[in-house]
A and B are shown apart, each in its own frame.
Chain A
Amino acid sequence: MNPLVIYLLLLKATMTSFAGMGSLPQIRQDFVETRRAITDEQLSQAVLVGRATIGPMGAYVVSVGYFAGGPPGALAGWLAMITPALIAIPLLTLIQRWLHLPRIRAAVDGVIIASAVLLVGSGASLAVDAVQQLMDLKS
């Protein structure tokens, strides 16, 4: 898979999430369901690797990039992970002007609540996948 496409897809996911694992539903949608660039099992492995590693929780996107496109994909994943953080700087200057507005704050709250719902779906999907793997190994 083209590293630029990997970067853009992962960036879409990281830019629309507000926590390390919040990007998981979008990544699953783009990489597993739509493009079939990686399998559910590889996505689960990426999550496992990300969680087993010290450092930012969102680092699992590096692993997703690797499974989708080898070392260049991993580099694309790293770039997609760090790019949104730079938005903090303009936010730092804008925040005092906008975030005190209750409606803006409520919109951001809504995004965070929906992120949690999406994460529950992804977590459940991972659990089902793991149980299925264990049952396959038993039989």
Chain B
Amino acid sequence: MSIELLRRRFTTRGWIDARDHGVFIAISRFTPGTVVLAYVVMLGWRFHRWLGAVFALVVASVPASLIVFSLSATLARIDRYAAVRALLAVGILVASVLVLASAWHLLRPYLPKPSRLRTFVVAGVAIVLVVLGATPVRVLLVAAVISSVLPLPESTE
């Protein structure tokens, strides 16, 4: 499921406009957890308030969760076979590349010049904290504090 697909479905029918979509995108980026779930919650809220939000959340998450549950249960039973383990290892290698791609996708908007220095400083501190064995929550908290006290790029001040 992609937000772009949702945008096309809803804007072509005139149910939301480009401005609604922009606001939903911005807020979903700042909502903890999975971006697309936050987006569908706001879509549901837009039309039927809490009922719509909960309904949208269930519809967007249950089918995938059932598939994940079934696959996990199957994997737990068959992963003792060498061929299966080899396939899994290759799959995990691919998954690790996808994880790294996710990291790049997150970082990319912060690399252009106005915020590049801030990005390097925050990322550098985060790397040092990770190397020192800090927990992820602490790394995120320190990053938030450092980023908020660094001088802001001129365009955001």
Give B residues with C-beta under 8 Å from A.
Answer: 1, 23, 26-42, 45, 50, 53, 57-58, 60-65, 67-69, 71-73, 75-76, 79, 82, 85-86, 88-100, 102-107, 110, 115, 118-119, 122-123, 126-127, 130, 135-137, 139-140, 142-148, 150, 152, 156-157
Contact = CB atoms under 8 A, between A and B. Distances in A.
26 contacts: A16-B140, A18-B106, A22-B106, A25-B136, A29-B136, A45-B88, A77-B65, A78-B65, A85-B31, A86-B41, A91-B27, A92-B23, A92-B45, A102-B152, A108-B30, A110-B145, A110-B147, A110-B148, A111-B140, A117-B126, A123-B103, A126-B95, A127-B93, A130-B89, A133-B85, A133-B92
Interface of A: 12-26, 29, 44-60, 62-63, 66-67, 71, 74, 77-78, 81-89, 91-92, 95, 99, 102-124, 126-127, 129-131, 133-134, 137
Contacts of A118: 126, 130, 136, 139-140
A12 B137 CA distance: 9
Contact of A112 (B93, B106, B152): B106
